[in-house]
């Protein structure tokens, strides 16, 4: 027969174990959620940084080709390899508005190297339009970044 002291001890042990198990589960869920949020934030930051670098490289190369067109036309088609490679990357990752304005800018640069082409004063507005589209895209990506703080809504919805 079980004595009262033993049943009290067993009840204390069971309740302590249950509380410890529940605390561990909550701690695991909160830690997992925070790590997941940190990981997504790091991916978003990396994506933004890569796009900034890509767009900067593209603009630098268009500037170089613009200066080259002022001095004289490109002597070899390989002069365009880098800008075309950057453009291919932009087509894969950029928003539609960035692609449209970038294509106009690239077309202007390529046209400037055509035989008999005269400098067109529209280059500055095309470059400005491209930069504005890029800034909007990056601002939109930054706005999607999760805000700091612990969010338990994913846990309450049964996603944990």
**What is the residue extent of each domain of the chain?**
42-146
With H, G, I as helix, E, B as strand and everything else as coil, classify residue 98: helix
- Cα distance between residue 99 and residue 129, in whole Å: 11
- Cα distance between residue 160 and residue 157, in whole Å: 8
With H, G, I as helix, E, B as strand and everything else as coil, classify residue 150: coil
Question: Is the CB of residue 51 less than 8 Å from the CB of residue 59?
Answer: no
- The per-residue pLDDT for 145 is 64
Q: One digit per residue, pLDDT tens: the chain, 160 residues?
A: 567 787 788 888 888 888 888 888 787 777 777 888 888 888 888 999 999 999 999 999 999 998 888 777 777 888 899 999 999 999 999 999 999 999 999 999 988 888 777 666 688 999 999 999 999 999 998 887 655 554 444 444 444 4
Give residues with Cβ within 8 angstroms of 111, minimum separation 6. Answer: 117, 120
Tokens describing residue 113: 């190297």
pTM: 0.68
- The per-residue pLDDT for 121 is 64
- The per-residue pLDDT for 90 is 95
Tokens describing residue 136: 């909007």
- The per-residue pLDDT for 122 is 84
């Amino acid at each position: 027969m079980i004595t009262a002291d033993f049943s009290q001890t067993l009840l204390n042990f069971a309740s302590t174990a249950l509380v410890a198990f529940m605390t561990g589960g909550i701690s695991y869920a909160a830690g997992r959620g925070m790590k997941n949020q940190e990981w997504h934030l790091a991916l978003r930051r990396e994506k933004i940084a890569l796009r900034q670098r890509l767009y900067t490289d593209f603009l630098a190369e268009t500037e170089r080709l613009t200066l080259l067109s002022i001095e004289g036309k490109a002597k070899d088609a390989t002069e365009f390899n880098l800008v075309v490679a950057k453009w291919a990357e932009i087509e894969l990752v950029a928003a539609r508005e960035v692609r449209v304005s970038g294509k106009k800018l690239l077309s202007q640069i390529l046209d400037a190297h055509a035989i008999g082409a005269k400098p067109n004063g529209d280059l500055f507005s095309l470059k400005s339009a491209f930069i504005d589209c890029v800034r909007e895209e990056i601002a939109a990506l930054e706005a999607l970044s999760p805000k700091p703080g612990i969010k338990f809504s994913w846990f309450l919805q049964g996603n944990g």
